[in-house]
Amino acid sequence: MYKEITDVAAKVLSSEFGIKDTSIFWNTPRERGRGDLSTTVALELGKKLKKKPLEIAETLSKALAKSSLIEKAEAVAPGYVNITLTPTALLKELNRTREAQTAKVAKKNAKPVIVDYSSPNIAKPLGIHHILSTIIGQAVCNVQMHQGTPVVRWNYMGDWGTQFGKLAVAYKKWGSDKPVADYSIDELLSLYVKFHDAAEKDVSLEEQARAAFQLLEEGDATARAFWSDVVAVTKQSLKKIYDRLGVAFDVEIGESFYEDKMQSIVEEGKKKNVFMEGEKGALIAKFDEASGMPPAVIVKGDGSTLYHTRDLALVRHRIEEWHAEAIFYVVDVAQMLHFKQLFAIEAQLAWDLPKQEHIAFGRMRFADGSMSTRKGNILKLEEVLNEAVKRADAIIQERGDAIQSDDPKELAEMMGIGAIVYGILSQNRKMDMVFDWGKMLSFEGNSAPYLQYTHARTRSILRKAEMESCDLPEKIETLTEKERLLIGTLLRFSDVLQDALEQHMPHKIANYLYELCQDYNAFYTSEPILKAPEPERALRIALTSFTAGVLKTGATLLTLRVPDRM
């Protein structure tokens, strides 16, 4: 961006200071109203040129001020150069950002980035805590794809383990009056709970469960059929929730797939002296003292493999079969040690590794006690989603005519689900997050309804103007303060996307969209749009259409649906 202005600045640096090929970057000045662009290039060059940065900044501003694109250029201590562009130059820049609204096409044959997210342990319904990995992961994927990275969205389900043995025992004892394929996920959970209650009194049940799981491991046909029915039931119920959340996967390969792919890795580790004998006949991996990490168990004394072992096989598979460029794990910060150990073991095995990152997130707590769980029960995600939609519905009823919709039920779904999704994604994932009904469903402040309402407002204006979009006028003499601020914010969109991409921080997009809504609404309340004379009318309609487009694109990246009418 800002190519012409960068060229002018580069010329000055070269002619006045003999500096060639310096990169010049433009930011938005920190203080609003201090111009449209700011660069720190003078600060960076001060040392090299042994000159006061402010002097360099002054020379630079004087030369820049002569450009026909620039209305005003000023040097600001200790060495910033702040620029105010002419309206025409601003509009020209704005036109160029139109492409940030459409997804870039991924390079052909580029190696993919694998994003591992949601990845629940199945045979149980999703709990509220699952929403974090699920939607943060989806947003991370969406941003990557939008910016042209080929992505493999991977749900690495925990579809293997002793819980299947427990379920099999419980089913035989209490549930076999109907085929397991006809069970609902909640009924499966009840079976599971029943098993645990009974096992407290009858210790032999645990033994039976282990035996049942062993049958499954040995490939017993009945055990296998039972397992695959349970997996199918779970996947069906998962799909329902994923659809509501706007979450979708390319690959659903879970832990079970790696059952027969661990042995070779165990052998390799032994041969390379990475795995060694630990306590009670276990096989472990050790880490150097400085890391402070305890040893990781790879194979237990009884020969059973672990989460680590499977993850090693998973990485191998992703490298060899999927040719991963990078692997991102969107997983609770509670598993930090696990991933540190995993990456360390891979390095010890001297594998040729792609870039890997644990995209961790904090805990979520409820602002009020409204949704705390009864002891031992999980708080089901589906219940929370339904509650959100119910609350949204009540708000829509309450607001009466102030809300217009052709389909209030659909609007309630959009608003309720959106409130939760946006409520989470607008918070910094690295901190603990707060689940606050009041804030999430508010029409003011950084919330889904505020964003949705603002989007609907822009669409309503475009409807009244009878235009979907509108070209920016070629020439405009002056801009009002509110127009200028709105344009400045619109211009930042592509940088925000890039920033969110590099740091895997969806909340940067959310916070940006909030600012955009504020700027648009301030503009909307202070300037007439449809009743303005030309060329202001055309400009303001075009700014409205730009805002609508950016809001829609940004919201979609966050899986937030925005209505055209509200």
Nearer to ligand ARG, 119 or 208 (CB): 119
Contacts of 454 (CB under 8 A, 6+ apart): 517, 520, 521, 547, 551
Q: List beta partners, residue 329.
A: 116, 358
Peptide bond into 535 cis (omega under 30): yes
Size of the chain, expressed as the number of residues it contains: 566
With tokens 């319904």, the residue in question is 125
Q: How far is the CB of 311 from ligand ARG (least distance, A)?
A: 5
Q: How far is the CB of 119 from ligand ARG (least distance, A)?
A: 4
Q: How far is the CB of 257 from ligand ARG (least distance, A)?
A: 12
Binding mask 13-52 for ligand ARG (x = CB under 6 A): ----------------------------------------
Nearer to ligand ARG, 318 or 484 (CB): 318
Distance CA 128, CA 93 (A): 43
Q: How far is the CB of 67 from ligand ARG (least distance, A)?
A: 53
Q: How far is the CB of 234 from ligand ARG (least distance, A)?
A: 13
Per CB under 6 A, the list member of 71, 74, 93, 311 interacting with ligand ARG is: 311
Of 555, 545, 544, the residue nearest 509 (C-alpha): 555
Q: List beta partners, residue 89.
A: none
Nearer to ligand ARG, 69 or 306 (CB): 306
Distance CA 419, CA 384 (A): 11
Nearer to ligand ARG, 309 or 452 (CB): 309
Distance CA 495, CA 559 (A): 20
Per CB under 6 A, the list member of 80, 183, 195, 329 interacting with ligand ARG is: 329
Nearer to ligand ARG, 378 or 476 (CB): 378
With tokens 């974090």, the residue in question is 132
The region of 100-108, 118-126, 287-295, 441-449 touching ligand ARG under the rule CB under 6 A is: 118-126
Q: How far is the CB of 545 from ligand ARG (least distance, A)?
A: 42
H or E segment and range at residue 358: strand 355-361
What residues from 132 to 171 belong to the interface with ligand ARG (CB under 6 A)?
156, 158
Count of residues of this chain found to bind ligand ARG when the rule CB under 6 A is applied: 10
Distance CA 55, CA 92 (A): 30
Q: Counting runs of H as helices and runs of E as strands, what totals does the chain give? A: 20, 12
Q: How far is the CB of 560 from ligand ARG (least distance, A)?
A: 25
Distance CA 381, CA 124 (A): 11
Nearer to ligand ARG, 115 or 479 (CB): 115
Q: How far is the CB of 476 from ligand ARG (least distance, A)?
A: 53
Nearer to ligand ARG, 136 or 396 (CB): 136
Instruction: Please give, one letter per residue, the 3-state secondary structure of 69-131.
Output: CEEEEEEECCCEEEEEECHHHHHHHHHHHHHHHCCCCCCCCCCCEEEECCCCECCCCCECCHH
Distance CA 476, CA 487 (A): 13
The answer to the question of residue 119 lying near ligand ARG (CB under 6 A) is: yes
What residues from 260 to 279 belong to the interface with ligand ARG (CB under 6 A)?
none
The region of 116-124, 208-216, 363-371, 441-449 touching ligand ARG under the rule CB under 6 A is: 116-124
DSSP string, 416-453: HHHHHHHHHHTS-TTS-EEE-HHHHT-SSSSSHHHHHH
Q: How far is the CB of 327 from ligand ARG (least distance, A)?
A: 9
Q: How far is the CB of 306 from ligand ARG (least distance, A)?
A: 11
Nearer to ligand ARG, 341 or 559 (CB): 341
Binding mask 339-378 for ligand ARG (x = CB under 6 A): ----------------------------------------
The answer to the question of residue 331 lying near ligand ARG (CB under 6 A) is: yes
Nearer to ligand ARG, 329 or 453 (CB): 329
Q: How far is the CB of 288 from ligand ARG (least distance, A)?
A: 23
What single-letter DSSP state applies at residue 175?
A: I
The region of 13-21, 28-36, 112-120, 419-427 touching ligand ARG under the rule CB under 6 A is: 112-120
The region of 58-66, 117-125, 217-225, 458-466 touching ligand ARG under the rule CB under 6 A is: 117-125
Is residue 85 within 8 Å of residue 36, measured between CB atoms?
yes
Beta strands 80-85 and 70-76 are: antiparallel
Return the ∠ at Cα 475 (arms to 469 and 476), rounded to 5°.
90
Nearer to ligand ARG, 110 or 334 (CB): 334
What residues from 498 to 527 belong to the interface with ligand ARG (CB under 6 A)?
none
The answer to the question of residue 328 lying near ligand ARG (CB under 6 A) is: no
Of 76, 85, 61, the residue nearest 31 (C-alpha): 76
Is residue 255 within 8 Å of residue 160, measured between CB atoms?
yes
Tokens of 105: 């096409």
Q: How far is the CB of 231 from ligand ARG (least distance, A)?
A: 14
Q: How far is the CB of 112 from ligand ARG (least distance, A)?
A: 16
DSSP string, 246-267: T---SB---GGGGGGGSHHHHH
* Interface residues toward ligand ARG, by CB under 6 A: 116, 119-121, 156, 158, 311, 314, 329, 331
